[in-house]
Amino acid sequence: MPNKKTIRIPVAEPYFGKKEKKYINQCIDSGWVSSTGSFVEKFEKKCADFSNAKYGIATSNGTTALHLALLACGIKKGDEVIVPTLTFISTANAVKYTGATPVFIDSQKKSWNMDPDLIESAITPKTKAIIPVHLFGLPADMDPIMSVAKKNKLFVIEDAAEAQGALYKGRPVGSIGHIGTFSFYGNKIITTGEGGMIVTNNQKVQEKIKILRDHGMSKTKRYLHNVLGYNYRLTNIQAALGVAQMEKIKSILLSKSKIAKIYQKGFESCENISTPINPVWAKNVFWLFTIILSQKYKISRNQLINELKSHGIDSRPMFPTVHSQPIYNTSDNLPVAQKISNYGISLPSSQSLKKSELNQIISIIKKFN
Ligand SMILES: *Cc1c(COP(=O)(O)O)cnc(C)c1O
């Protein structure tokens, strides 16, 4: 956690109001504080509807959502799952939890997302699924991903943890693949403290996930366990927070898009700073506004992070590539993702940011262009 005394502008901060408190109080007053209670189902329905999916299944976080999604697809030891190397570690770790092996794919230069052209050559007889990640809120190019998946009979699980509300060719992310997952960690588009959601149109998948989420307990006979399950449930208190957050998600997304426009315009003339692309086929929700510095930028990324910090502004280096992490450490050569990872930096993106604060951030960064 950043030190509140020294950091004035955080990278992301939650946006709460009266409704959050009101709904949480309803849980406390009624005694429904655990994972049974009306807010869980309400939250599931709101998230499913928002993604244009039939079913929503709330989970304890975004990582357990991915784990359950993979289990519902029958992924197990000996299988391979294709994932981008440029993502948060969870995407690969969830694969590892099932005993399967993540196979890492390089990024597209412009979108930073998984390059669909590289998927086919990574497919082996062991490959069972692909997990595209909609990085920083920009949808991955889903059409070619879905077609290579169809051709090779693979499941597609969208990791939409950073992209709730994003659209791909007019369709909400999460419902384009077979299963979609979301995270409600404190810095995500909306938050429940910790929390996650799975969306799907497949009734059987939904039923399977609900059993796995609840200790593998039979739906018809209490304390009968036919499968190994988990306790990956979301609490009613967390869901209460989630329902209040979903009621204002449109205004959160609107603020984020306004912030992104100000950043885009601010860096427009900077040849050593690349900003996210805005393709006509996508609605980017700009979860964290992220820029890539060129090698000619006057100071190093870490120097820029320190410079911003000296003005009370927090920022984040881009995720390290997952294939280079000590726990995976593969010998893959994935140069595009590696370069983006080395030179990328995420800037403050909270919906509460003032225009004057954004202008200050822009002018500090532009000084070294
Ligand atoms: C945040 C995040 C997750 C994991 O979510 P948690 O709720 O923190 O478990 C998974 N994938 C991506 C891409 C994320 O950004």
Radius of gyration of the chain (CA): 21
Range 254-259 average pLDDT: 97
At 224 the pLDDT is 94
Split at pLDDT 50, 70, 90, the class of 127 is: very high
**Cα torsion angle, 64, 45, 147, 338, sign:** negative
Q: What is the pLDDT of residue 119?
A: 98
Which band of pLDDT confidence, cut at 50, 70 and 90, is reported for residue 7?
confident
- What values do phi and psi take at 328, rounded to 5? -110, -55
pLDDT for the residue numbered 248: 97
Look up the pTM and report it: 0.97
**pLDDT per residue as tens digits for the range 82-113:** 999 999 999 999 999 999 999 999 999 999 99
Average pLDDT over residues 68-94: 98
Ligand 1 proximal residues by C-beta, below 6 Å: 61-63, 87-88, 90-91, 133, 159, 161-162, 183, 185, 196
Rounded to the nearest angstrom, the distance between the alpha carbon of 181 and the centre of ligand 1 is 9
Q: Which atom of ligand 1 is nearest to the CA of 90?
A: 10
Give, to the nearest 10 degrees, the angle between helix 236-246 and helix 18-30: 150
Distance (Å, whole) CA 282 – CA 291: 18
Give the residue-averaged pLDDT of 7-29. 94
Residues 33-39, mean pLDDT to the nearest whole number: 92
147, containing H or E segment: helix 142-151
Residue with tokens 């499941």: 155
Q: Which atom of ligand 1 is nearest to the CA of 196?
A: 7
CA quadruple 153, 159, 163, 166: dihedral, nearest 10: 10
214 touches 231 (CB < 8 A) = yes
- Which one of 61, 63, 70, 86 would you pick to mutate in the ligand 1 pocket, going by the greatest count of ligand atoms within 8 A of its CB? 63
The model's confidence at residue 1, banded by pLDDT at 50, 70 and 90, is: low
Over residues 311-336, the mean pLDDT reads 97
| Mean of pLDDT values over 159-168 | 98
Angle made by CA atoms 347, 248, 265, in degrees to the nearest 5: 35
Over range 39-62, report the average pLDDT. Answer: 98
Taking the CA of residue 91 as reference, the ligand 1 atom at the shortest distance is 11
Predicted pLDDT at 5: 59
Share of the chain above pLDDT 70, in %: 98
Phi and psi torsions of 49, nearest 5°: -60, -45
- Among 4-13, 20-29, 351-360, the minimum mean pLDDT is found in 4-13
Share of the chain above pLDDT 90, in %: 96
